[in-house]
Every structure is written in C-alpha cells, then in structure tokens.
Amino acid sequence: MAWNTNLRWRLPLACLLLQVAMVVLFGVFVRYQPDADPHWAEDLKRRNLSSDLDNEFYYRYPSFQDVHVMIFVGFGFLMTFLQRYGYSSVGFNFLLAAFGIQWALLMQGWFHSFHDGYILVGVENLINADFCVGSVCVAFGASLGKVSPVQLLIMTLFQVTLFSVNEFILLSLLEVKDAGGSMTIHTFGAYFGLTVAWILYRPNLYQSKQRQSPVYHSDLFAMIGTLFLWMYWPSFNSAVSSHGDAQHRAAINTYCSLAACVLTAVALSSALHKKGKLDMVHIQNATLAGGVAVGTAAEMMLMPYGSLIVGFICGIVSTLGFVYLTPFLESHLRIQDTCGIHNLHGIPGIIGGIVGAVTAACANSEIYGQEGLAHAFNMEGFNGNWSPSLQGCFQAAGIFVSLAMALVGGVIVGVILKLPIWGQAADENCFEDAIYWEVPEEEKNHASHPEDSTLKPPEP
Amino acid sequence: MAWNTNLRWRLPLACLLLQVAMVVLFGVFVRYQPDADPHWAEDLKRRNLSSDLDNEFYYRYPSFQDVHVMIFVGFGFLMTFLQRYGYSSVGFNFLLAAFGIQWALLMQGWFHSFHDGYILVGVENLINADFCVGSVCVAFGASLGKVSPVQLLIMTLFQVTLFSVNEFILLSLLEVKDAGGSMTIHTFGAYFGLTVAWILYRPNLYQSKQRQSPVYHSDLFAMIGTLFLWMYWPSFNSAVSSHGDAQHRAAINTYCSLAACVLTAVALSSALHKKGKLDMVHIQNATLAGGVAVGTAAEMMLMPYGSLIVGFICGIVSTLGFVYLTPFLESHLRIQDTCGIHNLHGIPGIIGGIVGAVTAACANSEIYGQEGLAHAFNMEGFNGNWSPSLQGCFQAAGIFVSLAMALVGGVIVGVILKLPIWGQAADENCFEDAIYWEVPEEEKNHASHPEDSTLKPPEP
Amino acid sequence: MAWNTNLRWRLPLACLLLQVAMVVLFGVFVRYQPDADPHWAEDLKRRNLSSDLDNEFYYRYPSFQDVHVMIFVGFGFLMTFLQRYGYSSVGFNFLLAAFGIQWALLMQGWFHSFHDGYILVGVENLINADFCVGSVCVAFGASLGKVSPVQLLIMTLFQVTLFSVNEFILLSLLEVKDAGGSMTIHTFGAYFGLTVAWILYRPNLYQSKQRQSPVYHSDLFAMIGTLFLWMYWPSFNSAVSSHGDAQHRAAINTYCSLAACVLTAVALSSALHKKGKLDMVHIQNATLAGGVAVGTAAEMMLMPYGSLIVGFICGIVSTLGFVYLTPFLESHLRIQDTCGIHNLHGIPGIIGGIVGAVTAACANSEIYGQEGLAHAFNMEGFNGNWSPSLQGCFQAAGIFVSLAMALVGGVIVGVILKLPIWGQAADENCFEDAIYWEVPEEEKNHASHPEDSTLKPPEP
C-alpha cells in the first residue's frame, strides 16, 4: 500500500478548522470562575475569607505546573526512544495535547463547571484538561510511529469526548473517587489505545523493524521523559484531591509506591535477561507503574506500607508484561503496542482500580474519623445511605464502565482512522520522521561518515 | 579578517572585574526586604497578618522557580539547535544570565526598591531580575554564533541598564501595565538585539553556512528548551501580577493563548512546505509566540476566547515571519537574525503591546467591578482622573518608547561591540564551539570531517 | 582480574530482599503525621488554625518537588558526561535513590519523627529523605563507572545509616544549624565517597581511559543536570528552613551565591587554559560550588553581599581543584575521583561549614531582633545559656564530626565493597554501559550502518 503522506492541505485544514471551532465555542461558553474574576476582592469579603491566599490558585498552581510538565515533557520525551522518530514523538504529542486541552476544557466544563449557560474555568479545570489529555497521550503510545498527525487530531477529538462522558459517569453518576485517574485516565486510555491499535493492525510492519529500536542517545532522551513523569507523579495524584490532608497523603503514598516500583522493576529486568543485564525499556516504563496503580487510592488511607506493596507488585507485573505479554499481544492478538502501554497503563490501571475499590470498602470512621470519612467520600452526595462496601462496589463498577467505554469507543474510532485518507505511512515507512518532517540533510550521511573514510583512524 | 579569539586574559578579567563590582555594590546597597528579614515575626504582628503564609515568598516562589527554569534551561536549550554550538548556547546563556541577574537586582532595585539608601530585595526582585535577563537572552538569539562571551558580557551590562531605564519610564512614569513584559521584555529585547545584529552585520557569513543548521539530536535538545518555555509561560505572565484573581487569570489566559498558537503554527508550517512537511524551526519557535503576545493583557479581562484569538493570529504571523521575513531581513536589511527573534519576540511583542492597549481601553467597572477596576489599574496612582482610554493611550505610548530605546540603545551598544578587540570569531568560524571551548577530541574528527575529506561534497 | 559481572541473581536478590525489608519495616513503623491524616479537619480546629493552607504541605511541597528533581534529574544527568556510561549514570542513580529514600524515611524517622512507637511522615520527611540520598549521589560521583549496582545498593544501605547517625549528632546533640546540608550532606557525602574510592583504588584504570571522557552530546546531557541543580538550589537550601523569613532569606542568599560562582568559575576556566578556552567540566561542576558553600548559612543573616563573596571564592577554589587537585589526588593519594566531587562538594562543603560557624558566631539581637534570634537558633533548646560564639563553636565541631564519620564509615564500607563478589567490572571494562545494560545493537556499529555499508569495518 502506497498512501499519499503529503499532508499539505489535510493537516493545515484540520488544525485551522479545529482551532476556529475552539475560538467560537470558547467565545460562547467559557468565562472565568470567581477566583479568577476581578470581582474576587468583593467575593473574598462576602465569603469571609481572610486573605488572597485562599484563592484556589495557591492551592493548586504548583501541582498544575508539575502535571503540565508530565504531559508535554514527560509523555513527549518518554516516546523519543525510537531512533528516527524523536521529532514526531515530541512534536505530535505537543500538537495533540495543545488541541486536546482546549477541547477538554469545553467537554469537562459542560459536564462539571456549567453554570447559567457558561463554563467557569479556573486552575482546577486546567489540571483536569491536562489529565484528560494524559489519557490521549497514553493511547498515542500504542500507535506511535504508525499514525499521521491528522489521525492523531481526530483520535484526540473523539477520545477527549469519550473520556469526558466516561468521567462523568464515574465521578458524577457512580460517585466514584478517582483523583489520580487509575480508571478514568490510565485504564480508559490504555484500552482505548490498544483497541485502536488492534483495528489499525499492520501485517507488514516487520518491514519497518530496523527503525523500531533505540539508539544510544535516543534512550537517554527517553529517560528525561521517564524521570519527569516519575518525579512529578506525586503531584499528578494529589493535584485535584481535597485541600489539606488528602493532597498531602496522596503525595506521600505516590512517592512510596513509585520508589518500591523502581526496585522490583530493576530486579525483574535483570532476572529475565540471560546475562542479568538491564533493559532500558523496563527502566523507562515499568518504574512508573507504581504511580498508575495508586492513582485511585492515593488520597485514601492506603498507608505508606500499602503503597509500597502496590508499587512492589506493579514493578514485577509491568516488567513481566514487557517481556512476555507484549510479544504475545502482537503475535496472537494482532495488537502492535509500540510503547507497551498495556504494561505501563493497562494492567497497572486495572490494579489501581481494584486497589481503590478495596481501600474504599475498608474505610471506617475509626480510621478516618467521623468528619474525615464524610469529607473523604463526599458523603452528603449519597443522601445518608452511604456505606464503605457500597462505595467499594461502585468503585469496582467504575473499572468495568471504563473498560467498556474504551473498547466500544476504540472500535468506532479505530474504524474511522482506518480510512485510507488521513495521510498515514505505508508499512515500510513507519517509525520514520522524514515522512512528516523536514529532517536535517547532513544527518542522512552524517552518522555513517566515519565509516566511509578509511583514511582516518577510528575513534578511540 | 583573522581576529584573535584567544580570550585567556580578556574573559577572566571581564568576569572578575564585573563580579568584584557586584560584590562592592551589593555590600553598599543591597539588604533584605522585611519579608526576608529576621524581624519578620514582629512585623507579622504589627501588620496584623494571620500566618507565616502571608509572607510574599509563598505567593511568588513557585512562579519564580518556573521563570528561573525558563531563563536558564528554556532559553539556553532553545538555542542548542545548531549542530556545533550547543556548548556556547547553553554555556554563554548561563554566563550572561548569571551576571545579568546581579546587575538587574541593582538597576531595578535603584528604580523600584530603594528605601533609605538601601535596595531591599525579596522574591519579587528575583523574578524581575530574571525577567530583565530574559530580554538579554532574547537579544542574544539574534547574535547567536557570531559574538564572543566578552561581547555578551558587555551587551548584558548595557542592555540591563537600558532595560531598567525603559522599564522605569513605562511602569513608573507612564503607569503602563505590563506584567508579562510584551513591551519591556520582548519588544525591547528583540529590537535591541536586531539593531545590534544589524550593526554587527557579517558580509561573509555564508562561509559558516554549513554549520548554521541543525543535526537530528541538536533539534531534540532544542525541543527541551521550547517545551520548558511553553509549559512555564503561564508562570512567566502571572509571576508578578497582583495577588489573587490577577495571577490566576494571567495563568489561564496564557495557557489558552499558547495552546491555540501551537495549532496554527503547525498548520502554517505544513501549508508552506511544498510536500506538506513540518519544519522544526517553526515548532520550536512559533508555538511560543502566543505567550509573548498576551504578556501585557494576560492579567486583564482578555477573556479565554480573546486569548485564543491572540494565539491563533500569532502562530500564523510568526510562522510566516520565519518563512518570508527572516530571509528578507538578511538579504535586504542586512540583519542576520540567527534564531529568528523578530518572529518570536519582535512582532508578537508589538502585537502584545497593542492587545494590551486595546484591552485596557475597553476596561470598565461593569466588567471589573468598581473595586476590581481600581485594583487592576492601580488607580490611586493617577489621582482620580484616570480613564480606560487614557490608560490605553499610555499603553500604546509604551510600545513606541520601548522601540525607541531599543533602536537607539542597540546602535550605541552595537558600535561598541563592533570594536575588533573583544575576541569575536572570523566570518568563517562562526557557529563553532571549538573557538571558545575545549571540545572532546574524538568529536573533532567527527564533525570536522566535512572539511577534512575533500572527496565529499559539503553538506547543504 | 576477570570478575564475573553477570548480576542475574545478585542484583534481583538484593533488590527484592531490600524491598521486602522496606515493606515490613514500613508496615510496623510508618504512619502519617497529623497534617496528612484524615483527622486533619478536627486537628485544624483544635490547633485553632484558620484554613487548610496552614497544612505543612503548602509551605513545603513546591520546594520538595524542586529538590526531588535535583536528586533524580540533577545528579542523574550531571553524571551522563561520560561517552558510554549514560544509562548507568541515570539508571543507577535512579535505583540507589529510589531505595535510599525509603531507608532514609525509616532511619531519619527513628531519630527525628518517632512518636508512640510510630514514625509519623509528612512532606518534610520526604524532603529530608531526598537530602539524605543527595549525599549518596555525591559519593556515587567518586566511584562512577567503577562499581556495580549491587555495590551501590550496599553503599546506599550503609551510607544512609551513617548519614542519619551523623545528622542526629549534629542537629540534635550539637544543636547545629545546617538547613542546606553543607556539613551533613556535602562534606559527609564527599569525604565518605572519596574514602570509598580510595579503598577501591584501581591501579590499572588507565586501561579504560579511552572511555573516561565525554563526547559532544554527552556533555550537553550533563548540562541538563547542571542547570536543574543550579536553578533549584535555592529550593534545596530553603526547603526545610523555618516558615517565613528564613525560607525567603535562604532562597535569596543561594540565588546570589550561585550567580557569583558562575562568573568566577568561567574566569578561572579560561585563565587556566593555554588558549583561553573554556572547559565543560568546570562549567558543569564549579558553577554549583556556590550553592554547596551557603548550605549552612543561607538561612542566617549572611547578607546578599556575603553570599556573593562566598560564591566568588568557591567558583575559584572549585575550578582550581579540578585543574590541580584532582590529578594530584589520583597520582599521589591513589584516589580516583571520577566526577571531581572533592572540588564540588568536598572543599565547598567545608567552606560552607566554616561560613556557617562564623555567621552564627556573629549573630546578635541587633541584627536578628530578640524574637528573631530566638527563632533562628531555636534558643529554647539550650535552656537559656546560649551564646552566638558557643553556637559558632558547635557549628565548627559539626564539621569535624562529619569528617570523622565520613572517613571511618568510608573505610568500613570500602572494605566491604572491595570483596570480589559484587559483580564489579574489571579495570579494562570500566565506564562502559554494555557490562550491565542491554545496549542497542546498531549503536555498536553506529547509526546508519544497517542500511549502508557492509564493506566497512565497524567502529571499536
């Protein structure tokens, strides 16, 4: 199949149309929330707050910036491990995220911040928009190297929509707690992305196999992504938790889980190699699984040792997934998962949902205090007949809803993306920046240069 | 022209002299502001504040750190796109910024924080010093690869001085609002830098043309700079805004503008390439223009859709500038603008000034509330006869003052820098780290290969 | 010596055993501190605090995240300067830090946060754990390229233990002030690491000399580490200072010291090169010495000019150390200090201790105010007979205690690590990722090889 990969009209049109739509919709719907409105000073008095510091901005802005870094540098650079796909990894991630956050502000706004005909946005909306886009970045990981930027924009449009619907069902209808998004972001994003990749299966992808591997420096670039994801994950899981102890606890739990995860990922990586050598793929990815898996429970009373146990298990499961499951998915289920998102977001996401359900089901007023329990699970929302085990059941239901939405949505979006009109590359041209980017000329004959001249002594 | 590029005495002398001067001036003038003074605990009671959190530190420190990253990693790595100039880009930016922030603390301090013979510094001064240096980093972009570190130190010395005078005229005399520095930082910095580059025109620069292009990995390093600038720009534009709603609003507006800018930059980049391919230069630079252009108005009631429109326009204008204007400037106006700062800071800076003037002129007490309006525009400073249209006029005047200062100052500084005594490289040795840096040995027979092997055609 | 470097059982076993121990110990000992406990809302009322913002989380979390970045990206990437040791630098640093923070939470917890049989952890504990691991990262710098990950885990286990004992002696017994850890982190870490390196002396290390140097891009990766360390150092030195003015002042002082340090490091680097060229090693390292050297005194009334003077001196001393002292240590004292930690952490750490002692000895109630003085030096702890000069003496004693602990501990740990059973590499295989990592195949015979020429010999 030789598709036309010249995007000269398709990509500009897609970008401009979407952006014009955003301008119009923002014009009609989006306004500032009271904390970002110039009437704030009067508002402060009316709400009897003592100082400007009570502005939501000061509670959430530092966490927001950390999350922002995770989406753009974290996910962007994590995917630069491919030898000839760095521009696309960082650049397309940048593009889809920049569009996605706008569309997410609208979609999530209609569901959660809609008052008197307007969406009122503040810093928490910015964080949630970044979260929503995070699930698109996850899904992108499965299709990395095989889709065009036009396909990515379309996928983002649909996935953000579905994400918001799913999130509304979970958070507002099922009253599920999922501050760090184990279910809404990771489980949904991963299985959506895997389903899309399944529909977009490329039988002759082996023709691009020589580019589907890293070079030395590309793996170092990817570590920049890994580390920023790893370091800022405590901010991710605590960013939209309740003020005070919940944010504090979420950060501590995530910190613990991630630390444990590193050790077991390293252990398994070495144990599964016949010479005991470490594999960069595992270090780059499996070390993060602990953050995914405490996404739901981090703000609950998971306890530091509980977090360690979750991280411990996920480091093992995730590394095993990379070694055994990813090849199996490709060969038997025809799912080509470029980044192994099933191991980093899929399974750990489900584990996270289960851990959350169990932790919620174990809640009681002895552990949380009467007031703390009401606060932690928004009891007033349940009209009094709330019980921990009921919460646990709803939490568990959230996992299945997310999976169902991901699979159904993924099939629909996959079919749309399969149309041969979006400028996707042929099987033998995957994982190659030069299809969509102006690549430095001299690079083509750059790297091999030393070999050509037999006159020069080899490098020491 | 074969100049002596050995800086063995000139660079150490310049550094040591400047640093000794800083020590002496700091000793005479610089003290802590009350929020950083050990009498704070007593001060807290006297000012009837409720808690340590009311210390300015907690309002501004997270934003300060983000701005700090933008100056050192953002600008530093943005300029590493050249294949053989990474050490100099990051290293010289580091040097000039480290000197510049000290000198800016003094200059800005004398104008704005001078009390009883002392400059009282606090976290806001640190942010403003970083801002001031930001304008030097902008100007450095135009001369990148063509000036010596000694020249950069001299340029920094003068530019910081002129910046502070210009800032004083705008903020204190004209009572202009410019929290994100569209005028003071970007317009001033860009046109100052372009004027200097115009004076330092190198007619034979084509002799270094083979190094004035990226290699694959250098473009990825540059994306680190781009992304940190892009992600932290909301902090940049909100860092010194008033507490509460103004900081909050500035962050939201900047976030929106930047997102829109990415889509239109990508659209234009693809549309202007004959095969529809994207150009890294545009992705690295034009995506940031939206941040520049809301610098003045971000804290005002620009509205989210207004921000999107500004970003929309700037992504287009900036990309068009890279494709058409930069070559024109070089061939017809003899301005060699290495990084294309005219497209990223020059035009968007002026647009930002205009947007700010219009937004200010449209202000009224219906939108802002009576109290909010007084707060937003420091009305007390105007002794009662303030009006939005007057503010708009002063804002517009600020653009022209900044331009005039930049052009006059740029000519003077350019002439000083043109003296052939500062260790600048010859035209055929531009864009080359090895002139000023000890470069790894084996790398030398790597990159210098093109020259050595006359068998190969030079790289395009 | 041809040791067995296959870690297939040793590394997994070490990781899993240590991690299981952590889980058990956390289960027995670690709980949340009140600010992270669900009873917080009740606690808030009992303690008569006005708002959720009084939660310790909001005072310290932004600084914590900055410190976290310094440990993982800062130290990790700073060490990637070696041409073939990037995976190990970043990866092993990641591993040891992930283990170290857990063990440090326990060790420091037993000494400082132990209440009713439980260690109560909060954000300040997370920062202190990162600090403790910082000293291990420092020590790792001396042995970089010459030790196996198993050795690093063992070193971390012992060094964290010794660090905590030393910290307890200094902070709790001697009542020393050392918020930025000039003594506890840098002096202790550096001399411990140097002693270990001395014991592990490798007489035939010259056989790996060809890999003990950077390549062009590895030096740029290292600059990422340098800059994040440099930019976030104000957060490092202020992270655990008292609320309010002390945090504020520590940030300002560190900012000033670091700025001055850059200029003198550049000056010396150029002056000491026969052609006046700059050396990346100095820019990467000596520019940071100013941060180390104000670690103790940053929160005191060091004054901005005092900070500049400290930075001024340290930039010079540190660069001189790299040029003259490191070769001397290797040739005469048989200490092979890969990263030159003696110049970046050793000498500046001692200078920092001395500066702290002098600054403390000069304290008086005129400068600090009566209340401020009591606050700054926790006077109540001294039962009334406190005097500045006594404090100064104790501060000075802290230096010697740290040195003694480092030397004795270093010898013991060095001897343990010298056992030939930990999978260390032979002298001719040092500084080589391929010993412990699966390295990209095509990298061995360099990038474009697969496509191009089968005729050419592969590079060594």
C: neighbours with 3+ CB pairs under 8 Å? Answer: A, B
Instruction: Name the strand (E) or helix (H) holding A96.
Output: helix A86-112
Please give the ipTM for the structure prediction: 0.94
The number of C-beta contacts closer than 8 angstroms across B and C is 233
**Chain C residues with CB-CB distance to B47 below 8 A:** none
Show the tokens assigned to C417: 């690590």
Among candidates B214, B232, B244 on the partner chain, residue whose Cβ is nearest the Cβ of A55: B244
> What's the pLDDT at A375?
87
Quick one: pLDDT at residue B448?
37
Contact list in B for residue A80 (CB cut-off 8 A) is 220
The residue among A11, A65, A18, A127 whose CA lies nearest residue B308 is A18
pTM confidence score: 0.95
CA distance A381 to chain B (A): 29
As a three-state string, the secondary structure of chain B is: CCCCCCCCCHHHHHHHHHHHHHHHHHHHHEEECHHHCCCHHHHHHHCCCCCHHHCHHHHHHHHHHHHHHHHHHHHHHHHHHCCCCHHHHHHHHHHHHHHHHHHHHHHHHHHHCEECCEEEECHHHHHHHHHHHHHHHHHHHHHCCCCCHHHHHHHHHHHHHHHHHHHHHHHHHCCCCCCCCHHHHHHHHHHHHHHHHHHCCCCCHHHHHHHCCCCHHHHHHHHHHHHHHHHHHHHHHHCCCCCCHHHHHHHHHHHHHHHHHHHHHHHHHHHCCCCCCECHHHHHHHHHHHHHHCCCCCCCCCCHHHHHHHHHHHHHHHHHHHHHHHHHHHHHCCCCCCCCHHHHHHHHHHHHHHHHHHHHHCCCHHHHCHHHHHHHCCHHHHCCCCCHHHHHHHHHHHHHHHHHHHHHHHHHHHHHHHCCCCCCCCHHHCCCHHHCECCCHHHHHHHCHHHHCCCCCCCC
The shortest C-alpha distance from A309 to chain C (Å) reads: 7
Rounded mean pLDDT, C16-35: 97
In sequence order, the β-bridge partners of residue C31 are C120
Say if the Cβ atoms of B252 and A12 lie within 8 Å: no
Q: Which of B48, B90, B153, B227 to mutate to test the interface with C (most CBs of C within 10 A)?
A: B90
**B267 and A15: CB-CB below 8 Å?**
yes
Phi, psi values for residue B283, rounded to 5°: -65, -35
Q: For residue B51, list chain C residues with Cβ-Cβ distance below 8 A.
A: 49-50, 53-54
pLDDT computed for residue A442 by the predictor: 54
In this model, does residue B44 exceed pLDDT 90? no
d(CA A134, CA A128): 9
Instruction: Indicate which of B57, B80, B441 best probes the interface with C, i.e. most C CBs within 10 Å of its own CB.
Output: B57
- CA dist., res. C440 & res. C437, Å (int): 9
DSSP designation for C53: G
Question: In this complex, do B271 and A8 lie within 8 Å of one another by their Cβ atoms?
Answer: yes
Distance of CA B281 to the CA centre of its chain: 18
Taking contacts as CB-CB distances below 8 angstroms, the residues of chain C near A278 are 87, 91, 436-438
Q: Give the model confidence (pLDDT) of C389-434 as tens digits.
A: 999 999 999 999 999 999 999 999 999 999 999 999 999 999 999 9
In angstroms, how far is CA B235 from the centroid of its own chain?
14
d(CA C267, CA C184): 30
Tell which of B94, B223, B243 to mutate to test the C interface (max C CBs under 10 Å).
Answer: B94
Q: What is the mean pLDDT of residues C353-382?
A: 87
pLDDT mean values, one per 10 residues, chain A (460 residues): 82 97 98 94 85 92 97 97 96 97 97 96 97 97 96 97 97 94 97 97 94 94 97 97 95 97 97 96 97 96 97 97 96 95 97 97 91 83 76 96 97 96 94 95 44 36
Q: Do C260 and B441 touch (CB under 8 A)?
A: no
Q: What is the DSSP string of C199-233?
A: HT--TTGGGGGGGSS--HHHHHHHHHHHHHHHHHH
With CA atoms as reference, the chain C residue closest to B60 would be C248
Nearest residue on chain B to A148, alpha-carbon basis = B277
Minimum-distance CB partner of B232 among A12, A38, A65: A65
Contact between A262 and C72 using a beta-carbon 8 Å cutoff: no
Contact C122 A248 (CB under 8 A): yes
Per-residue exposure over C289-314, b if at least 16 CB sit within 10 Å of its own CB, e if not: bbbbbbbbbbbbbbbbbbbbbbbbbb
Res. B118 pLDDT band, cuts 50 70 90? very high
Q: Does B449 have pLDDT greater than 80?
A: no
**What's the pLDDT score for residue A371?**
87
- Indicate the residue type of B22: M
Answer yes or no: is pLDDT of C16 > 90. yes
Task: Kindly tell me the burial class for residue B250, based on how many C-beta atoms sit within 10 Å of its own C-beta (0-12, 13-18, 19 or more).
Answer: buried
Which residues of chain B does C248 touch, with a Cβ-Cβ cutoff of 8 Å?
A: 32, 35-36, 40, 55-57, 122-123
Q: Which residues of A touch B258 (CB under 8 A)?
A: 98
pLDDT digits (tens, 9 = 90+) for C280-333: 999 999 999 999 999 999 999 999 999 999 999 999 999 999 999 999 999 999
Asked if B102 and C227 come within 8 Å (Cβ–Cβ), the reply is no
The CA distance from C77 to the nearest CA of chain A, in Å, is 9
**pLDDT confidence of residue A48:** 82
Higher pLDDT, B235 or A1: B235
Q: Which residue has the tokens 């605590």?
A: A238
What are the chain A neighbours of C76 within 8 Å (beta carbons)? Answer: 223, 227
pLDDT at C337: 96
Residues of chain A positioned with their CB less than 8 A from the CB of B231:
65, 68-69, 72-73
- CB contact under 8 Å between B16 and C267, yes or no, is yes
Across all residues in chain B, what is the average pLDDT? 92
Query: Do the Cβ atoms of A230 and A69 come closer than 8 Å?
Result: no
- The confidence score (pLDDT) of residue C457 equals 39
- Comparing A444 with C363, which gets the higher pLDDT? C363
Nearest CA to CA, how far is A123 from chain C (Å)?
Answer: 16
Q: Please give the mean pLDDT across all residues of chain C.
A: 92
Which residues in chain A are contacts of B230 at CB distance < 8 A?
A: 72, 94
Can you read off the two tokens belonging to residue C118? 């439980």
CA dist., res. A243 & res. C166, Å (int): 36
Give the separation between CA A374 and CA A391, rounded to whole angstroms. Answer: 12
- The answer to whether the CB atoms of A217 and B215 lie below 8 A apart is no
Pairing state between β A118-121 and A30-32: parallel
Put simply, the answer to whether A217 touches B217 (Cβ < 8 Å) is yes
- C197-246 tens-digit pLDDT: 999 999 999 999 999 999 999 999 999 999 999 999 999 999 999 999 99
Report how far residue B297's alpha carbon sits from residue B178's, in angstroms, rounded to the nearest whole number. Answer: 7
Angle at B246 between CA B243 and CA B247, to 5 degrees: 65
The CA-based diameter of chain C, rounded to the nearest angstrom, is: 83
B221 with A449: CB under 8 angstroms? no
Chain C residues with CB-CB distance to B41 below 8 A: 244-245, 369, 371-372, 375
B127 versus B52: which is more confidently predicted? B127
Token pair, residue C113, equals 């946060």
pLDDT of residue C43: 87
The minimal CB distance from A40 to the residues B58, B245, B455 is found for B245
To the nearest whole Å, the CA of C18 is away from the closest chain A CA by 9
* d(CA A226, nearest CA chain B) in Å: 14
- Give the pair of three-digit tokens for residue B70: 């933008």
Which residue intervals of C272-303 are DSSP H helices? 280-285, 289-293
**Would you place residue B226 in the very low, low, confident or very high pLDDT band (cuts 50, 70, 90)?**
very high
Confidence at residue C51, expressed as pLDDT on a 0 to 100 scale: 85
pLDDT in tens, B348-389: 999 999 999 999 999 998 999 888 898 888 876 555 678 999
CB–CB of C30 and A304 under 8 A? yes
Neighbouring chains of B at 3+ CB pairs under 8 Å are A, C
Hey, are the CB atoms on C90 and A268 less than 8 Å from each other?
A: no
